[in-house]
Amino acid sequence: MASEKSVFGSSSPVDPRNLRRWCAIPAAELPGHPELRVPYRQVADSAELGALMAMELIEAIEENNRRGRTTRAILPCGPTCWYEPFRSLVNTRGVSLKSLHVFHMDECLDWQGRPLPAGHPYNFRTFMERHFYGGIRSELAVPQQQRYWLLPGAGDALLAGVVSGLAVGLPFIVHEGGGGSFSGRCLQTALDVGVLNASFSVTSPHTIHPDAVLKNLFAFAESHGAFISDALRSVSTGQRQISSSPDTCSHWG
C-alpha cells in the first residue's frame, strides 16, 4: 500500500494493515519486541505510570536547576495519576519550581467561546490550580506569572499571525526545518508567525496582547531558542525581501 504524503511532505507513518497487526500482539509480548521503532516501557497500572511520570519531570527539573537553566513543560489537564506523586516529591525533596514555566494545553469554553466561570467542574484552570499546584509548599511553587493558561484569544492570534505573514508574502509552510518547538527553529513562514503570535498571546491575561509587536515577538522567540529568518526580519524593517528559496537565519539585534 503506497503511503500518502502529508501537507508537510512527510510520509504517513500509519498503514492500516500494520496497525491491525500491532493491535493483535498480546501486551505481554510488546516489551522488547524486535520490530519496535521507539523506546517502549510497560507499567502495571495508573499508579505506577503516575510515579514514573512524576519522577521523570522531577529529575529534569533538578538537572536544569543544577545547571541554572529554565525548565519548560507543556501539560494537559490529565491524566491525574502523577499529580500527587509529583507534589510529594517536590515537597519532600525540596525541589524549587521557581524556574519552571508551565504551558497549559487545553481548556473548555461555553457555547459562545468564552472561558467557563471559576469553580465550574469543566474549568480546567480551576482543576489544575486545585490538584496540580495545590498543596505545593509556597516557597517552592511555580510563580504565577510562569503559569500560562490557554485563552480564547490564542486562536485569534494564530489566525491573525498567519494572515499577516501571508499578506507580506511569506510562504504558508516550507518542507524544511519543521519541528514541534521553537528551540533551534528558523522562523520563516506565515504559520511560524501565527504560532509565535499565539504563543506570545498566552503570556498576557488580555484577549489581544497589548505588546504584540514584531520586536517583542522576535525577542520572545529567541528567548525560547528560535532564530529569525532574514526574510521575516526584513518585514520589520520595511524592506520586505521575500524569497521562496530556503532562508538564512540570525538572532534579532
Asked if residues 82 and 58 have their Cβ atoms less than 8 Å apart, the reply is: no
- Position 29 in a domain: no
Q: What residue ranges of the chain have pLDDT lower than 70?
A: 1-13, 175-181, 237-253
Indicate if 88 and 136 belong to the same structural domain: yes
50 and 142 share a domain? Answer: yes
Determine, yes or no, domain membership for 73: yes
Q: How many CB atoms are located within 10 Å of the residue 250 CB?
A: 12
* Cα–Cα dist 206/201, whole Å: 8
Would 9 be classed as within a structural domain? no
Clarify whether residues 122 and 191 are in a common domain.
no
140, 167: one domain: no
Same domain, yes or no, for 63 and 107? yes
Residue 84's domain is classified under what CATH number? 3.40.50.1360
Are residues 177 and 241 located together in one domain of the fold? yes
Does residue 138 sit within a domain?
yes
Q: Are residues 164 and 95 in the same domain?
A: no
- Position 74 in a domain: yes
Residues with Cβ within 8 Å of residue 131, at least 6 apart in sequence: 80, 83
- The span from the CA of 108 to the CA of 198, in Å, is 17
Tell whether 130 and 165 lie within a shared domain.
no
Number of neighbouring beta carbons within 10 Å of residue 153:
18
Q: Note the pLDDT of residue 15.
A: 85
Q: Does some domain include residue 3?
A: no
Residues of the domain holding 237: 153-250
Residues 175 and 242 placed together within one structural domain of the fold: yes
Count of domains for the chain: 2
Question: Which residue among 123, 148, 173 closes a domain?
Answer: 148
- Among 106, 121, 148, where does a domain finish? 148
**H-state helical runs in the chain:** 16-23, 46-67, 83-93, 124-128, 153-167, 190-201, 214-223, 230-237
On the CB side of 160, how many CA atoms lie within 13 Å of its CA?
Answer: 17
Residue 204: per-residue pLDDT: 80
Residue 11 lies in a domain: no
pTM of the predicted protein model: 0.66
If asked whether residues 94 and 123 sit together in one domain, one would say yes
pLDDT score, position 10: 45
Q: How many CA atoms are closer than 13 Å to the CA of 97, on its beta-carbon side?
A: 25
What pLDDT is stored for residue 248 in this prediction? 63
Residue 54 lies in a domain: yes
CB 172 within 8 A of CB 161: no
* Domain boundary residue, one of 148, 182, 201: 148
